[in-house]
Amino acid sequence: MGKEIERKFLVKGDYNEFVTKKTRITQGYLSSVPERTVRVRIKGDKGFLTIKGIGSKSGASRFEWENQIPVSEANELLQICEPGVIDKTRYIVPEAGGLKYEVDEFYGENEGLTVAEIELPAENHPFKKPGWLGEEVTGDVRFYNSMLMKNPFKSW
């Protein structure tokens, strides 16, 4: 069992020259209650089932369990997910000290929204904030993928 510690930011500038990898992601939620989300994801040619617990007071850390599942099973599970599938491309931008930003560019009802997350070994771990990062939205539930499926960015 693991703990996810990450900070989330809006993207205000061009990060494309720093991208080393990109992957299309489709995901849905079997459960999207704040105390526990159960996510089904197809990331490239792999399927995943992820369970996340309620976040810390800061919103930066929470319990996370993830296992790979066959893509055929992920496709079947997506058929019974709550309404509002998330469609996005994830871009990887390496940073100093082995850290990396995951920049998500959303499509469909969330088109126009681009956010960057950096996973950290501890909540107080220092990290570089490149110039293309905008406002920090860590802990702002509107930017959780499980909330974007219920209240898409285009409806704000």
Residues noted as catalytic: 29
Torsion region of 91: left, alpha or beta (phi above 0 gives left; psi -120 to 50 gives alpha): beta
Q: Which residues contact 79 (CB under 8 A, 6 or more apart)?
A: none
The three-state secondary structure class of 94 is strand
Count Cβ atoms below 10 Å from residue 114 Cβ, excluding itself. 21
> What is the phi/psi pair of residue 18, to 5°?
-100, -5
The closest alpha carbon to 103, from 23, 4, 33, belongs to 23
Taking the C-alpha atoms of residue 116 and residue 135, their distance in angstroms, rounded to an integer, is 10
Burial of 74 (0-12, 13-18, 19+ CB in 10 A): buried
